[in-house]
Amino acid sequence: MTCLTSQAQNLFKTDHQKWVDSVFAHLNTDEKIGQLLMPRGNYNAKYDPELLKYWIKEFKIGGFVFFAGSPVRQANLVNELQSLSKVPLLIGMDLEWGLAMRLDSTVRFPYQMTLGAIQGNDDLIEKMGYEIGLQCKRMGVHINYAPVVDVNNNPNNPVINFRSFGENKYKVTDKALAYMKGLQAAGIITSAKHFPGHGDTGTDSHYDLPLISHPKSRLDSLELYPYKQLIANGLQGIMIAHLSIPSLDTTKNLASTLSKKIVNDLLRKELGFKGLVFTDAMDMKGATKYYPEGKANVKAILAGNDVLETLTDVAGAFNAVKYALLNNEITQAEIDLRVKKILLAKAHAGLWNYKPIETDSLIEDLNPMSSDLLNRQLAEKSMVVLQNKGEFLPIKELSDSKIATLAIGSKDKTVFQKSTDLYTSISHFNIDENTEPSRLASIKDSLKAFDTVLLSLHGLSIRPANNYSLKPKIKELFEDFANNEKAITTLFSNVYTLDKLNNLKSGKALIMAMQETAYTQMAAAELIFGAKAASGKLPVSVNESYPYNNGMDTKSLGRLSYSIPEAVGLNSQTINTKIDSIVNEAIRLKATPGAVVLLAKDGKVFFHKAYGKPTYEGAVPVRTTDLYDLASVTKISTSVLALMKLEDEGKFNLDKTLGEMMPSWSQSNKAALNYKDILTHQSRLRAWIPFWMNCIDSVAMVRNSTVFKEKFAKDYSPNFFQRLFSAKKAKAKFDQKINNNTKLWSACIDLKNTPTIWKANTFSNQKAEGFDNQVGDNLWIHRSMQQYLFKAIEESPLREKKEYVYSDLSYYLPPQIIKRITGQDWENWLKSNFYKPLGANSLTYNAKDHYSLDKIVPTEYDSLFRKNLIHGRVHDEGAAMLDGVSGHAGLFGNANDLAKLMQMYLNKGSYGGRKYLNESTLNEWTAYPFDKEVNSRRGVGFDKADRKKPGISTAASASELSFGHSGFTGTYTWIDPKCNLVYVFLSNRVYPTRNNSRLSDLNVRTNILEAVYQELNLKR
């Protein structure tokens, strides 16, 4: 007895042995018997609080086992029950896959069969055990009846099945051991189950007594193997199954729970287990079918169990044990031994210093972001690829791929479908058993136009009952559509459903996602598009086609994955609070009506959030998928991109002159300008040219201006206007005076309210011959104006001094250069070489031609030039005159797609398994081109951190390796190789007017980036 107690002390380590001894010394016989009882504690009609209180008062029970419920309600009930008990109560629960197995509003971790597919990475399972343990502690739960260590070698097992880690005893043992260590490290008592092994039975012990006919040698080598290893590693508790096992006890119809040969002789003596032995639920038919519950309870104690768990007849159990004691069927010493172990366990669980469960913030505390991150990681590692013809997975080429999804079993767009949208343009179809035949025929016909169909099966039950809820119509639909060589099929279901479906091998690939959760659906999309690799293997043999350990590895292509701040070492609450505060304050102060913020680190998008509305007056909120006018971010997303590629191809270098790249300008004053100077904004080019303003017939407008006549006519003789209109010389002189005096004519003309009079062959307020391209709702431009615009740039004077002056003018030229060198249209060239293969399909000019206006955020109400709200057309006036297509402005896109391009820059020219640019080229263009003494914060084409005045162009903490660009409409992007960071900020601060500098005044964009740097610094 002393030896046994000391061994139990090793399992339940405590510094409070005095508390154990003191409590034990003050217990009478009835109170000791009560400690052996842990009845069902559900709060419902059958087990109301008064009954539970009665059990405590009358029978001094040792604890409760809780089942389905709500966290706060259960916590309040437990607090009340604990207050009534002389000895603090042990609270136990079946939480195999976390608190969500029993409690709503809590975290659901993967089923053990899903974890069984994970190869290696048992450290993740240990972390899961620890997370569950912490949540148990917060919930006031002391015992988790887990892990399940049954080796599930019977595919028809109706009760273990997905609850097992698999059929391989070694893998089951390794994963169970990891789970156990995590739980116990958090201070939770584990109870491995179901001893001696419930994996090879076709009967559910909840409803009958299963028969295990294997010889002891087989049981010893297989079913008992995990228990031996866990016991050797400090297992604290074991739950006994209700099984009839003749090779271990020949007594007919005797459940193993009631067998002394199994519990005492095999488990305690032969295997040497010294921890707590729990019965399985004593209200199950496996225990009570052949013995009344009262008799079954006493037989369980006599067999060697320490705790009677989940019993319904508390009085009957108490009286039966007491009767057995009085009749010397069991000794007081045996009772005392059990009670001391139970008290040791209570001290180990912290009940020596019991404190009520704090219900404030309980739900929040039970849903930590660390669990969210872990769930993502476990899902990623559990993906099993069972077929991959021609190594099609992951999908490598996105340029010309036409991809559709077909979700069977879900009428609504699934998480899987939404996740695929992050990678490229995809068409989606959904069907279920109620879909009309005509609709099915239409979908089948539509799918013919696609190269790849991402077929997914949803809505099945994880439980084997009723054929996993696989409805005949769903099976028929699935097999019909799966019989398609274009299909990549993903099953979000129990692994054994592989044996229930046909045509699985017809398509390009087959993925077994093991179960259906948001995490597995996201992980499947990431696998398919190469953001994550696949390494999972089947944990069981399904049939000859899908044997144990089947599964193919795939590689990651390095495309962006999507996670949470914790994935990059940050705290979600902290980073969300800081960024939310900055952006919401900017919206409150009307710096911008809305915004989208995206942040990625180490190739993981950890923050992607939309704020506000597209307009101050609107009702619909901004979405992360909304397109924005990128303004000058266009420069680094088009022109710089193009020139770097030409440099890689040997068709350009920074020593080239403008005359060499534009041979038609060889006689221009700009012919000798060096491109290094041009792209660093110190080539003497003018900052800009007001092209559209030069098209206004200002003389005609002034002549017709009432303001002019009122203000200036008195300064001229009465016959001035007569002489003016008749004398050509006088008129020409007056015209020149007006043209050269912007202040004069702008004072005379109210452009907001006066119809603009345009010079001939410039603009027209209606569509007419020669006016082919529309630049505004009621404004068309003459076809000759493009030639005029480029001529105006060519002939514009140069500044006298070579110094830094930001200029747009050179960025008008790359479309011309690309056309001359490649013979290809500018936009098509960009899309075919970059945007389409990147999967960045929202990057486009003239967004209104490709997207409905509700998906595009408007910019300014242009009261001067186009005199309408600019929505879907480029904001920049010069780009508008070029049909919206230029190298300095005009590109639209959403944050996610822009981030792909920026991530390619961060990756030194590579993305998604494809090389776009040479690393040496990117290193050259993103570095400082001048010595520190030169007062310039420009790289080549890119903006850089100001080395003399940190915080001017970007966050003060940005490294000198970082680079990016901003846009006039309120856009901004920044890349920092030092911390592997990509940042995108999209806004329309120019709505409704550009006369709003609050976004810059408040340093909104750079303050967000600085907040991230500060959090990263705290973690370094």
The set of long-range contacts for 53-59, using a CB threshold of 8 Å and a minimum separation of 24, is: 53/80, 53/81, 53/84, 55/314, 56/81, 56/84, 56/85, 56/89, 57/84, 58/315, 59/30, 59/33, 59/34, 59/314, 59/315, 59/318
Q: 191: which 2 tokens?
A: 């109870």
pLDDT reported for residue 749: 66
Average pLDDT for 860-870: 95
The answer to whether residue 5 scores a pLDDT higher than 70 is no
pLDDT at 714 over 90: no
Q: Taking Cα atoms as reference points, which of 679, 596, 637, 645 lies closest to residue 890?
A: 637
Q: Is it the case that residue 835 has pLDDT exceeding 70?
A: yes
Confidence of residue 712 (pLDDT cuts 50, 70, 90): low
Strand partners, 307: 278
Instruction: Round to whole Å and give the CA distance between 1011 and 576.
Output: 10
Q: What is the mean pLDDT of residues 646-661?
A: 97
Q: Would you say residue 118 has pLDDT above 60?
A: yes
Q: What is the pLDDT of residue 718?
A: 47
Q: What is the mean pLDDT of residues 371-375?
A: 98
At 498-521, the pLDDT tens digits run: 999 999 999 999 999 999 999 999
For residue 208, what pLDDT is reported? 85
Contacts of 597 (CB under 8 A, 6+ apart): 579, 583, 607, 608, 609, 611, 895, 984, 985, 1008
Average pLDDT over residues 790-816: 95
In the predicted model, is pLDDT for residue 818 greater than 90?
A: yes
- Strand pairing partners for 817? none
Mean pLDDT calculated for residue range 424-441: 97
Mean pLDDT of 345-354: 96
Of residues 892 and 466, the one with the higher pLDDT is 892
- Per residue in 153-178, pLDDT tens? 888 888 899 999 999 999 999 999 99
What are the tens digits of pLDDT across the range 546-557? 999 999 999 999
CA distance 512 to 522: 13
Q: How far is residue 839's CA from residue 400's CA, in Å, rounded to a whole number? A: 10
Supply the Cα-derived Rg of the chain in whole angstroms: 37
**Residue 3 pLDDT level (bands cut at 50, 70, 90):** very low
pLDDT given for residue 1017 in this prediction = 85
Q: 788-821 burial, b for 16+ CB within 10 Å, e for fewer? A: bbbebbbeeeeeeeeeeeebbbbbbbbbbbbeee
**Residue 199's pLDDT band (cuts 50, 70, 90):** confident
Q: What single letter denotes the amino acid at residue 443?
A: I
pLDDT value at 286 more than 50 = yes
pLDDT digits (tens, 9 = 90+) for 229-251: 999 999 999 999 999 999 999 99
- Categorise residue 535: left if φ over 0, alpha if ψ from -120 to 50, beta otherwise: alpha
Please say if the pLDDT value at position 60 is more than 60.
yes
Chain segment 69-115, per-residue pLDDT in tens: 999 999 999 999 999 999 999 999 999 999 999 999 999 999 999 99
State residue 6's pLDDT score. Answer: 57
Question: Whole-number mean pLDDT of the chain?
Answer: 93
Residue 769 CA, distance from chain mean position: 53
Convert the pLDDT of each residue in 896-919 to its tens digit: 999 999 999 999 999 999 999 999
For 685, the token pair is 């080019």
The arithmetic mean of pLDDT across residues 848-871, rounded, is 96
Across 157-161, 261-265, 794-798, least confident range:
157-161
Question: Given a cut of 90, is residue 731 above it in pLDDT?
Answer: no
263 secondary structure, DSSP code? I
The answer to whether residue 673 scores a pLDDT higher than 50 is: yes
The pLDDT of residue 753 is: 78
Distance CA 110, CA 135 (A): 16
Mean pLDDT, residues 190-195 taken together: 96
**pLDDT > 70? residue 481:** yes
584-607 burial by CB neighbour count: b if 16+ within 10 A, else e? eebbeeebbbbbbbbbbbebbbbb
Report whether 967 contacts 633 (CB < 8 A): yes
Q: How far apart are the first and last CA of the chain?
A: 53
How distant, in Å, are the alpha carbons of 627, 711, 750 from that of 859? Answer: 11, 35, 22
What's residue 724's pLDDT? Answer: 45
In this prediction, residue 7 carries a pLDDT of: 63
The larger pLDDT score, comparing residue 947 to residue 150, is at 150
| Mean local confidence (pLDDT), 927-953 | 85
What's the pLDDT at 723?
Answer: 47
State residue 4's pLDDT score: 46
pLDDT, tens digit, 9 for 90 and up, residues 440-451: 999 999 999 999
